[in-house]
Chain A
Amino acid sequence: MRRVNVWKMLFVALVSAILLAGCSSEESGGTSEKENSGKSASGKDQELVIAVNENFISMDPHNTGDTNSNSVQTAMLEGLLGSDEEGQIIPQLAEEYSVSDDALEYSFKLRQGVTFHDGEPFNAEAVKTSFERIMNDESLRLNSRGFNLITSIDVIDDYQVKVTLKEPYAGMLTRFVSAKILSPKLINDSSSDIGKTPVGTGPFKFVEWVQGDHLTVERFDDYWNKADRVKKITYKPVPENGSRVAMLKTGEAHVIYPAPVQNLKELESNSDVEIHKIPSTIARYVSINTMKEPYDDVRIRQAINYAVNKEAFISVVNSGYGLPLDSIIPSKTQFYSKQETYDHNIEKAKKLMKEAGFEDGFNAEIWGNTNSDTLKGMQFIQQQLKEIGITVEIKSMEEGTLSDEIYGAQTPEEAKVQMWYVSWSAYPSDTTNATKPLFSSSSFPPDGANTAYYKNDDVDKWITEVNQTADPDKQAEIYSNIQSTIYKDAPWIFLGVDEILAGSRSNVEGVFISPTGGINVTDANLK
């Protein structure tokens, strides 16, 4: 009997402890927030924590393909050119730049008095060393994207460099943004460390990277722009949405990117948290195989576009965050010109179907990856196309398998894909990358991502032409033609443009997210 009493007492004590803890939660929660985010009165001695959704892959700026690695690199490394909040190109380590009329020569006047984190001086030779690394190493991503077109890098004097290309390439300025300048000492003495411990001229210098856990950078006090900024920044990969939200709420993280849509209401009601909505360059679409029956008939493709309600797509699939895709490129992309959209019009769609001889509809197949949002999007398309008699079968495939199915086809005839639910994201300043790989007939898989197998001789000619001129007015005119022609040809179901969502604590200043999802921390501070 006595033993049972002891048990009862223990049980009562345990329940009371849990209840008490629960009751005092708000009070203690508040204390922990203060401890976490208000270590000292002045922001400049504090540490900023940024939680992102994926691991960083490599710190080698010349071989980076993912946005998260790129974000961290921009805190430590700088290019001759940089990009502003809108994603447009601005001078960074170059004070001025000019492009020759034939779009073959790029001249840069360099910033003086800049040093690398290891004490090496920044000058024209340093630029040459970095650029030559990219030119000479075929395995680097940047090599195949513009740098393989370079014929010479001329050092005019200590602070002037001229780069010459063998043929014009309109995306070259954006490549100069990506081609961060590394310390020549690092490249010459320990090039194998570039991917792990980069050395640049940026506002923060590398401290440590524990794979899968965190990457820390520290303020570089000799940085050329002496503005006030936080002492330390820690980047953490936190893939689980709920955990990232919890970190923002407790103050363990000051910035989270992306902020999950399903938690927005709860975050918006929290006075310590701010939500940022940034129109992106991420286009959501379904590519339609224009070489397959019955999709080779433009009326069918237009009918499909009229049948899909874009507003409903944004509210159902994107939870209301996003804009309709009203051109072949998102509005944040350079040379964008708005097109007359395919409004939701079932009658018109049915009429077009009838004209094309498919009054009773047909059976179709849509492919996509296994992501739950993709699945939701494909189900939406399935439901919308049912209205005009098209019965859509959804085929959801794991990313690697899907990639095999799409890029395994060596010729358009071999291609089995009918419709592919996918997205594309290009730099706001690089319209070439937003058009050529998707609509040029030289980019049919496996050569590129023109999975609509779209071929239009005018468009092909224009895409070549636009790359051969440096005159922005002429480029704008050609891009306008490209956009209106392709939009009318409807090789895609034009769906929407994502709005990027990020969350921050209200005491964070000077951190911004670009339309590509990059996080800029140059002026990061805590109030």
Chain B
Amino acid sequence: MLQYILKRILEMIPILFIVSILIFFFTHLIPGDPARLVAGKDATLEEVTIIRAELGLDKPIWDQYITYMSNLFQGDLGTSLKTGLPVSEMFADRFMPSIYLTFMSMGWALVLGLLIGTLSAVFKNKWPDYLGMVTAVSGISMPGFWLGLILIQIFSVQLGWLPTGGAESWKSYILPSITLGAGIMSMLARFTRSSLLETLRADFIRTGRAKGLKESVVIPKHALRNSLIPVVTIAGLQFGFLLGGSVVVETVFSFPGMGRLLIDSIAFRDYPVIQAELLLFSIEFILVNLIVDIMYSMLNPKIRYVS
């Protein structure tokens, strides 16, 4: 297993190399001149030219690429065109809040999603099932933007319990994580329900029950465990999207995260920030996939990885 993990990590190197090339050239393909955007609309051509030279944008694209890659190999992510700050410094303030938010959203989405899905399956076509599925459908259909504003209205403006935004204390994370996790929770609930229902119809469950196993053993130990593989796949994919896809939620809650930084950077054609952030998301995505694969074999010992 350890060998397999090592192999997968080594495989990441060529993948990331290709990804970094794609990111670099695609970023430079976006229309819009960063020097002009940085200079502002009242800038003269002379100012724009000075800024372009200052930012190294007047050099041929291959030169720029070589500089970018050699800096990258030295662990230097570059300097933001917009703020003039090192990209790593800009990430430092925002990376951890984003990670906390992602884990918190994923955490409660997993717990509640599995719980609702399991209860719905166990009490199929009874009222807990209806209630669970109504919650799940609502969670999927409510746009994050709208849900966020409603939550702010109820819990911040009306009740005054929680802050409207920011990331100063653990309280600031509650509303954004609910908003961000709602869709995933619902999806997990539905997947768990259908997967569990299918497993419950399987022969080995009937055999277990026939042998006189209690429901409290059959369901969590045999049925649920075997139903989790599709759920883990979905959770893994969603987790990857969560890391980068929280833009809307971060905007509503003025949350200082990576998603908002990416959008701001794209608007300004801040190439170094866009490139570094996309690369980071790619690494995270690949790592999450690796973890998902490892979890498969933990859930179902029949799945074995050979190096």
Contact = CB atoms under 8 A, between A and B. Distances in A.
Interface of A: 4, 7, 11, 21-22, 25-26, 28-29, 31-33, 51, 55, 57-58, 60, 63, 65, 138-139, 141, 144, 195-196, 210-214, 236-240, 242-243, 246-247, 249-250, 252, 398-401, 403-404, 407, 422, 424, 426, 433, 437, 443, 446-449
B90 A403 contact: no
Given A212-B256, A212-B261, A400-B37, A58 B157 contact: no
A243 B94 contact: no
A212 B156 contact: no
Interface string B224-255: 00000000000000000000000000011110
Nearest to B145: A240
Given A252-B163, A400-B37, 7 more contacts: A29-B160, A51-B254, A58-B83, A60-B84, A242-B252, A250-B164, A443-B44
Interface string B61-94: 0000000000000000000001111000110011
A448 B260 contact: no
A243 B131 contact: no
Interface stretch (B13-21, B28-36, B195-203): B28-36
Contacts of B32: 398-401, 403-404
Contacts of A11: 131
Most chain A Cβ neighbours within 10 Å, of B30, B82, B126, B256 = B256
A501 B97 CA distance: 32
Nearest to A25: B158
Contact of B257 (A212, A249, A400): A212
B84 A144 contact: no
Interface stretch (B47-55, B107-115, B136-144): B47-55
B252 A243 contact: yes
A440 to B, nearest CB: 11
Given A196-B85, A404-B31, A31 B90 contact: no
10 contacts: A33-B160, A138-B54, A195-B83, A237-B254, A242-B252, A250-B160, A398-B32, A401-B32, A403-B32, A446-B45
Contact of A139 (B30, B51, B85, B165): B51
Nearest to B160: A32
B154 to A, nearest CB: 8
Nearest to B158: A25
Given A139-B50, A195-B85, A404-B31, A213 B159 contact: no
A247 B153 CA distance: 10
B257 A25 contact: no
A238 B83 contact: no
A196 B79 CA distance: 14
B48 to A, nearest CB: 7
B127 A4 contact: yes
B10 to A, nearest CB: 34
Most chain A Cβ neighbours within 10 Å, of B38, B83, B90, B253 = B83
B112 to A, nearest CB: 13
A238 B165 contact: yes
B157 A211 contact: no
A506 B91 CA distance: 37
A21 B159 contact: yes
A422 B31 CA distance: 20
Instruction: Tell me if B's interface is mostly helix, strand, loop or mixed.
Output: helix
B267 interface: yes
Given A195-B85, A447-B44, A240 B128 contact: no
A263 B113 CA distance: 36
B40 interface: yes
B254 A243 contact: yes
B302 interface: no
Contacts of A31: 160
B167 interface: yes
Contacts of B51: 139
B11 interface: no
B251 A240 contact: yes
Given A212-B261, A433-B42, A449-B41, A246 B31 contact: no
Contacts of A214: 166, 168
Interface in B263-282: 264, 267, 269
A139 B35 CA distance: 12
Those 4 A-B pairs whose CB atoms lie nearest each other, nearest first = A400-B32, A32-B160, A212-B256, A213-B256
Contact of A243 (B83, B128, B152): B152
Most chain A Cβ neighbours within 10 Å, of B30, B36, B260 = B36
B36 A246 contact: no
A196 B31 CA distance: 30
Nearest to B91: A211
A214 B97 CA distance: 13
A75 B131 CA distance: 54
A424 B47 CA distance: 18
A86 B205 CA distance: 80
Contacts of B257: 212
Given A11-B131, A242-B149, A246-B156, A211 B93 contact: yes
B31 to A, nearest CB: 4
Most chain B Cβ neighbours within 10 Å, of A11, A28, A213 = A213
Contacts of A65: 38-40
A250 B157 CA distance: 5
Contact of B44 (A26, A33, A144, A211): A144
B36 to A, nearest CB: 5
A57 B83 contact: yes
Nearest to B42: A437
Contacts of A33: 160
Contact of B31 (A4, A28, A51, A401): A401
Given A139-B51, A403-B33, A211 B90 contact: yes
Contact of B158 (A22, A236, A400, A404): A22
B152 A242 contact: yes
A12 to B, nearest CB: 12
B267 A400 contact: yes
A309 B157 CA distance: 40
A460 B45 CA distance: 19
Contacts of A32: 160-161
Contacts of B46: 144, 447
Nearest to B155: A21
Most chain B Cβ neighbours within 10 Å, of A211, A403, A437 = A211
A426 B41 CA distance: 11
Nearest to A239: B251
Contacts of A4: 126-127
A471 to B, nearest CB: 26
A7 B128 contact: yes
Contacts of A26: 158
Given A242-B149, A243-B165, A144 B157 contact: no
A269 to B, nearest CB: 14
Contacts of A246: 152-153, 156-157, 164
Most chain A Cβ neighbours within 10 Å, of B126, B159, B254 = B254
Given A29-B159, A212-B261, A250-B156, A195 B93 contact: no
A98 B42 CA distance: 28
